Structure 1
Amino acid sequence: MLGRRNSIPILYTKGTHYEVGYDMGRTFSGLIHSLLETEKDLQQFLAAWETPSGRKGYDDTLHCCQTNFPQYVRELQGIADGAKVPFHELFLWHMDDVILAVAEKKPSDSPTGCSTVCVNERGQEILGHTEDAYSSILNHFYLVSAHIIEKEPQGKWGSKEEKFTSLCYAGHLPGYTMGYNHHGLVFSINTLSVKRLLTGKTPRYFLTRALLGAENYVQVQQILRDSGCGAGNGCSINATFLKQEGSRMMHNIEMAPATSDQVNESQLSILTIGPGECTFHANSYLRLQVDEANIGMTQNSKARLACFKRCPTPKTEKDVRQILSDKSDSKNPIFRDRKDDFVQTICCGIFNLTEKTWSLYADVPQDNEPLVVLPLKLKN
């Protein structure tokens, strides 16, 4: 098995949604094919898709995305065409646990998920994030810096231009990891697992992809609430805007599917982190009252939260690097890099909002220099 590489490929691309997707697929086709061959969940997704209920759930969810976010469906089609892989396999990745639930297949109970630390101190405004995933995804990710321009307004929110940089898993839409856009939105994602999953709704991957076009905090909430449809599954979003009036405000937003089939809107719970405050979020709901499904993930998440609470309150970027590097709980470390672990920290990112930089680490941040430090470039 290929060991951890100190490498993060990056693609700069400009064009329509389909053209940008095609460039992603063509450029990273080797990584996409490699992940399709090794990613264990895909075989479960395909088995679920081949059942009558799974196929209906797939068709209903695709129809929802084509209705509200056709530009991102075209983007995903571009990835599939560029990489020469079947579209339905990539879309199943984006449905994720929803396809298993509708086909009554048991989802994974593994301790997957990421950790995010937000520190809002004067001169030390930091958002730090470990990107944790199945070990098969190690070395199967890249950065995409895209400028998307369309002649006509696109999708539910009528966007014509997007410019962003995002970490991406091979074959996936940008947005469901960490990244920023040229309006100054900086965010990271923590996966959350709920028992009640919904087809015919918007998969979380599509909602976080839409965040890359958000111009302000009101739009962030509108996108995640997704009125008229709502999310099919759940996640947590840690977000702030670089350009703000007054003091820095950071937000953790827990998102869950609607409470019933009759409610066409995601559930949201928003925690605001003001000056002098900090917070930690992993992969269990802390505020929304939701029945959670992945017991392994929620237990591991609670152990990481306990570790954070044992650490001295972080005040600086150095403190954030130390927390994200922590391995004091050998069973549930925050930075996961044991060779035999089913889940690995594939990389770590630290946004310094004061200095407007994004540092990316391919290994333990406390012990290593960043592999790259990217400037956060804003519109105008």
Structure 2
Amino acid sequence: MSRNPIPRVSAKGDAFSIGFTLGQASAAGFRERALGSEHFQALEARWRGSEYLKTLESAARAAYPRYVREIEGIAAGLEQDFETVFLWNCRSDLRLSENVSPATKAVAGTGCTSLLIPAEGDGPAMIAHNEDGAVEFLGACLWVEVQPDEGPAWSSFMTPGTLPGDTFGLNEAGLVQTINNVTPNDLQPGVSRQIISRAILDARALDDAIEILKRNDRASGFHHNLGEAKTRRLASVEAPASGCVVREIASSLARANHLLSREFEGLNQTIKQSSLDRQEAADRMIAEGALAEGAEAVLFDEITPIYKNGQTDSSRTLATSVFAIFADRIEWRVHAAPQERDALSGTMRVV
């Protein structure tokens, strides 16, 4: 029996119906893993009913009302009030109080290693990704496959109660997205990065996705790894609240959890030792030719560790994804663990 089951969930219809299905599917995980967590309790104590949270909601409704409607559906499926679920979805846009434990602070600032590997000849471009998160969510996440009434079909890894998009996913327009957490200290009132990431799943081209990330009304931001099937272009986009730097990828590279662009040298950011270690190790392994044996040769490293196995902190790798991006299709696979490869796989044809 798998120690990290990843159920496959299908949803379709309008925004509320999709959200409701996803909420129902993740309800047990949300109740058992999120609601009682110190992270959620700290958020609720400081931010529930606050004017700042209301400002984030107003910005989201003005910019992307359909995705707010999805959150309303998720809340109904979870059998929770909207504010509870919106608060959870804005957790990265809100500062934690100083009295939370070091473990909670560490997990809140954790997250993910990505590889971007350009196409050679007629071969595919590749994006591969370790999705890291709180150990409580190991075995509680979903792979969701969505056919909306509006926009392209899309699929995404989903953590309980969270609007999909902030992990890894793809759509039938041929777009792939993986996300790396970053923690610059530039939070501001605006549109939650969860909602921005969800908007990328509806983008019909790489350039459209980049335009979304250039919005100047973002409350916080991520590092986004993007790939486009039709052109096999890859892009690394650093998009904290205070700026956006786009880099098209011509040679293989790795990304951990801190901003690297010169443009952000003056921006104060919190950088965990794990991020520095994973970045250094992945860069070295790529330079030594490890990718000749596949992306997993880097992402499953348990010495550094790049693969989060509990050796160095309280976070875990929740899943590993590999996307092969061809001109007419995306072939994808999701590993539940190094010993549980290809737990899920499929091909999405580009429409």
Q: Identify whether the pair has TM-score above 0.5, normalized to the shorter chain.
A: yes
* Alignment match, 1:345: 317
State the identity as a percent: 23
After TM superposition, the structure 1 stretch with the greater mean CA deviation from structure 2, 176-185 or 79-88, is 79-88
Number of residues of Structure 1 aligned to a counterpart in Structure 2: 340
Shift of 1:295: 3.8
Which residue matches 1:261?
none
Tell me, in whole angstroms, the C-alpha distance in 1 between the residues paired with 2:20 and 2:341. Answer: 33
CA offsets 1:109-131 (integer angstroms, 9 cap, x no match): 44611000111141252211000
User: Is residue 222 of structure 2 the alignment partner of residue 235 of structure 1?
Assistant: yes
Q: 1:318 aligns with which of 275, 287, 293?
A: 293
C-alpha deviation, 1:338, in angstroms:
2.8
The aligned residue for residue 166 of structure 2 is 176
In the aligned structure 2, how far is the partner of 1:97 from the partner of 1:213? 22
| 1:1-380 map, 5 Å | 5-50=3-48, 55-100=50-95, 108-110=105-107, 112-122=110-120, 123-149=123-149, 160-199=150-189, 201-227=190-216, 230-244=217-231, 248-258=232-242, 267-274=243-250, 277-287=251-261, 288-289=263-264, 291-296=267-272, 299-313=273-287, 314=289, 316=291, 318-329=293-304, 333-338=305-310, 341-354=313-326, 356-364=330-338, 367-379=339-351
Counterparts in 2 of 1:358 and 1:317: CA distance versus 1, 3 Å: farther
TM-score for the superposition, normalised by structure 2: 0.90
CA distance in 2, matches of 1:62, 1:309: 39
Which one-letter code corresponds to 2:74 in the other structure? Answer: I
The answer to whether the 8 A contact 2:220-2:240 is kept is yes
| Distance in 2, Cα, partners of 1:312 & 1:178 | 22
Could you report, residue by residue, the CA deviation over 1:128-162 in whole angstroms, capped at 9, with x for unpaired residues? 1000001111112101111111xxxxxxxxxx323
Q: CA deviation at 1:317?
A: 6.8
Distance 2:152 2:325 in 1: 21
Q: Give 3-state SS (helix, strand or coil) of 1:162's partner.
A: coil
How far, CA to CA, are the matches of 2:70 and 2:92 in structure 1? 22
- What displacement does 1:356 show? 2.6
TM superposition shift of 1:341: 4.0
State the SS of the aligned residue for 1:34.
helix
Q: Is the Cα contact below 8 Å between 1:124 and 1:316 reproduced in 2?
A: no
Q: 1:35 to 1:358 in 2, by over 3 A?
A: same
Contact 1:308–1:323 (8 Å) recurs in 2: yes
Equivalent-residue separation in structure 2 for 1:97 and 1:73 (angstroms): 17
Shift of 1:348: 0.3
Distance 1:20 1:62 in 2: 20
CA distance 1:39–1:375, shift in 2 (3 Å) = farther
How many angstroms does 1:167 deviate by? 0.6
Partner SS, residue 83 of structure 2: helix
In structure 2, what residue type is equivalent to 1:233?
A: S
Corresponding residue SS for 1:167: strand
Q: Distance in 2 between matches of 1:351 and 1:174?
A: 17
Tell whether the 8 Å contact from 2:152 to 2:173 is kept in structure 1 after alignment.
no
**Structure 2 letter corresponding to 1:197:** L
Q: Partners of 1:317 and 1:7 in 2: how far apart?
A: 29
Query: Matched residues in 1 for 2:156 and 2:54: separation?
Result: 28
Counterpart residue type for residue 257 of structure 1: A
TM-score, normalising length: structure 1: 0.83
Between the aligned partners of 2:269 and 2:42, the Cα distance in structure 1 is: 17
Deviation at 1:305, TM superposition (A): 0.8
Counterpart-to-counterpart distance in 2, 1:286 and 1:135: 27
The residue aligned with 1:153 is none
Letter in 2 for 1:232: A
